[in-house]
Amino acid sequence: MLEKLNEYLKELEKELWGMSDYLYHHPELGDQEVESMKLLSSYLEKHQFMVEKGIVGRKTAFKATFDSALPGPTIAFLAEYDALPDIGHGCGHNMIGTMSVGAGVLLSKVAMELGGKVVVLGTPAEETNGAKVDMASNGIFDDIDVAMMVHPADQSYQSGDSLAMDAIQFNFTGKSSHAAASPEEGINALDAVIHLFNGIATLRQHVPSDVRMHGIIKEGGIAANIIPEKASAQFYLRAKDRSTLNGIRKKVELIASGAAAMTGANIETHPYELSYDNMKTNKTLSALFTKNLLTSGVKKVHPAKSSTGSIDMGNVSHVIPAIHPYIGLDAPGLIAHTREFADRTITPVGHAVLSQGVFTLAKTAADILGNEILLQEIKEEFIQSNV
């Protein structure tokens, strides 16, 4: 099986490199990835995948399925392909999307012997309003046994954790008035926002060390001589798990209510992006991926690093066994969300790493398709982690 995967990969890899490079040169923002989705889904159709586009109400999302017609589990690879404003593919989603699509095609070449189904999910807008959240809550994973993807980074790391995250907007409404002539007639909505920031700053002393609370003033008035009638702030609230985050959110909402009461303003609160759950890595699946990554040519895989970020793969990990490891671009210290990171993805090193990622994803899935006991161990760990 190992030799077959390597042979098929050699046949495919130049096309895959070309797709990744195309995505780099034609970046599209989240939920606007029309051409990126067409490129990846068309390639899957060319390799006999049945593709359904526009799933879960997201026009640039897709589900591609290859059915071996033999009994066996269903393995999903998750493709991201949204870019960042100005920077382009500074998070390497051109590689992520291509690696998952390539792994799906590579696995399909041996699935006729191993059985089961191969699924590639096109998941838009990971950077902002992640489609995996909608997929997890709308049953897309109900008929899938295992999900995986791999993310480029400066070095290779095992799949680890991530923080749960809520994106909350606070809108305050007061009453405008002339700030000099009739200040007593006004209700300053901006003062309420400032009280909100000060209250959250005070709360930081009394939260666990993993909690992150950071925000901006979205609207703060129109002129210095007019008391602001409307003001708003957007905050990201993060914590190590959903239950901790829910408690933090209640405290922040009480602070916001207090800020409104102190100024006489009215308050309205709503999410401005989807909420992400914390990532729960399946360690059995992660160990298998790490073993295969070391056979792909990667010399060292570091232990998972503690994350202070949030990913929509977290929501997937709460409904089925999942991993989100990192594959190194052989550039220790390289920082994501930079143009330097994006540029690294289209170098010969980036191409070689892409091939390693495709191989490792496909080999890990092939191991599961051919081993019922291993699949049961993965599922049993998932069940126990959710008790």
Summarize pLDDT for 101-146 with one digit per residue, the tens. 999 999 999 999 999 999 999 999 999 999 999 999 999 999 999 9
Residue 315 has pLDDT above 90, yes or no: yes
Average pLDDT of every residue of the chain: 96
Confidence of residue 370 (pLDDT cuts 50, 70, 90): confident
Alpha helices (H) along the chain: 2-25, 34-46, 93-114, 131-137, 189-203, 242-263, 283-295, 313-317, 339-344, 348-369, 372-385
- 97: tokens are 């999307």
SS3 23: helix
The mean pLDDT value for 374-380 works out to 97
Instruction: Please tell me the distance from the alpha carbon of residue 189 to that of residue 127, in angstroms, as a whole number.
Output: 30
- Per-residue pLDDT, 6: 85
Amino acid identity for residue 254 in this structure? L
Q: How many CB atoms lie within 10 A of CB 258?
A: 15
CA angle 365, 346, 1 (to 5 degrees): 25
Q: Is the distance from CB of 360 to CB of 150 less than 8 angstroms?
A: yes
pLDDT at 158: 98
**Nearest-angstrom CA–CA distance, 274 and 127:** 11
Superfamily of segment(s) 1-162+277-386: Zn peptidases (3.40.630.10)
Calculate ∠ Cα 33-51-274, nearest 5°: 45
Nearest of 17, 16, 18, 40 to residue 28 by alpha carbon: 40
Q: Per-residue pLDDT for 387 more than 80?
A: no
Question: For residue 111, which amino acid is it?
Answer: A
Q: What 3-state class would DSSP assign to 375?
A: helix
Angle at 59 between CA 49 and CA 346, to 5 degrees: 70
Model confidence over 246-296: pLDDT tens digits? Answer: 999 999 999 999 999 999 999 999 999 999 999 999 999 999 999 999 999
For residues 270 and 264, what is the distance between their CA atoms, to the nearest angstrom? 20
Output phi, psi for 294, to 5 deg. Answer: -70, -25
**Cβ atoms 129, 271 nearer than 8 A:** no
Please state, in angstroms and rounded to a whole number, the distance separating the CA atoms of residues 103 and 43: 12
| Region 94-102 average pLDDT | 98
Stretch 340-369: mean pLDDT: 98
- If you search the block for the tokens 């400032």, which residue do you land on? 194
DSSP state of 279: P
Provide the whole-model pTM.
Answer: 0.92
Q: What is the pLDDT of residues 178-217, one digit of tens each?
A: 999 999 999 999 999 999 999 999 999 999 999 999 999 9
* CB burial of residue 360 (10 Å; 0-12, 13-18, 19+): buried
- Among the listed residues 65, 143, 139, 136, the one whose alpha carbon sits nearest the alpha carbon of residue 107: 65
Please report which confidence band the pLDDT of residue 3 belongs to, taking 50, 70 and 90 as the band edges.
Answer: confident
What pLDDT does residue 28 have? 98
Domain range list for the chain: 1-162+277-386, 164-271
Give the Cβ contact number of residue 270 at 10 Å.
9
State both tokens at 110: 């041996």
pLDDT given for residue 61 in this prediction:
98
> What DSSP state is assigned to residue 117?
E
Query: What is the maximum alpha-carbon separation in the chain?
Result: 83
Q: What is the pLDDT of residue 307?
A: 79
- The distance from CA 50 to its chain's CA centroid, rounded to whole angstroms, is 24
Give the length of the chain: 387
Which helix (H) or strand (E) element contains residue 78? strand 74-79
**182 class by beta-carbon count within 10 Å (0-12 exposed, 13-18 middle, 19+ buried):** exposed
Q: How far is CA 295 from the centre of its chain?
A: 26
Q: For a pLDDT cut of 90, what percent of the chain falls above it?
A: 96
User: How many angstroms separate the CA atoms of 310 and 312, rounded?
Assistant: 7
* Token pair listed for 192: 């309420």
The share of the chain scoring above pLDDT 70, in percent, equals 100
| In CATH, 164-271 is 3.40.50.150 | no
